[in-house]
Amino acid sequence: MERILKYIYASAAYRQGIFGQGILVAVLDTGIYPHADLQGRIIGFQDYIRQRPQPYDDNGHGTHISGIIGAGGKGVVHGVAPGCYLWSCKVLDKNGNGKILDTCQAVEDIVAYNKKHSQKIRIINISVGMLERVQPELQKRLLSSVERAWDQGIVVLAAAGNNGPGENTVTSPGISKKIITVGSLDTVNENRREPSLYSGRGPTEACVVKPEILMPGTDIISCGTRSGAYVRKSGTSMAVPIVSGMIALLLCKYPAMTPNEVKLQLYRSADRSGMDQKFKCWGTVNLKKLLSAY
């Protein structure tokens, strides 16, 4: 994570005392292990697979994602927004499989939660997806759920999926026009930014540019599911929480921002330098530019 924090100029936020404090981020994934680096960060857990009351992760994917967003830096891993809070929704089993309806239900439950509580979930991180051509009725329900959450004031981010590099390979709900879709970069330097070959690419069937944002997603080290454990993973799944953490920092500085304003600021801050012009996206983003909204 150290190279990621350097890449996004995380110090631009930290020097201002911005760590994501008070921002609540929901992670829809395989669950969350109460790793030492996540102590004090986990304030909610809902299990849609086995209905267990206490946080757990029998796969590791969700814990890894959560660490990238908000690990507190007590050990090896320092997340992008170490002051934010995490709400874990376990919608995937130990093999990383799950039902689309469980993901829909989790999103709808989050919208319902926000209507009843003053501390609202501001961001939903969905580092999973389904192929665009599979089960159209379920896809319609999923897109409807995430877009309703967006309209209710929640910034929703989804992975572009790992089915690239062909066109029209972005997975749902990442094909939604409203939400923010994140793809993966392999090369991380100022002069050359190469999209990962596995990263899903647009345009979508509706001719929407997707993903909008590219972030590093290869060989990312984050929290594991044993005490003191850290693991390395790659995929667009790992790129999404980097942006989720950055948006937590943005909302910490500008708490009144709406999802549409957040997306507009991402667009204004995006940088395509060093990228192949054939790859249609907004670019990559750093916190120096992102936090200079006004």
Which of the following is catalytic: 35, 37, 61, 184?
A: 61
The residue from 66, 199, 237, 269 that is catalytic is 237
> Torsion angle, CA of 230/85/269/179, rounded to 10 degrees?
100
Q: Is the peptide bond before 165 cis (omega within 30 degrees of 0)?
A: yes
Cα(first)–Cα(last) distance of the chain, in Å? 29
Cβ atoms of residues 69 and 32 within 8 Å: no
Distance CA 94, CA 30 (A): 7
Rounded alpha-carbon distances, angstroms, from residue 129 to 82, 211, 215: 26, 13, 18
List the helix and strand counts (H, then E) for the chain: 8, 9
**In the annotation, is 61 catalytic?**
yes
Told to judge if 237 belongs to the known catalytic residues of this protein, a careful annotator would answer yes
Active site annotation includes 117: no
- The closest alpha carbon to 31, from 60, 57, 65, belongs to 57
Q: Identify the CA nearest to 88 among candidates 156, 159, 26.
A: 26
Q: What is the CA radius of gyration of the chain?
A: 17
DSSP 138: H
Active site residues: 29, 61, 237
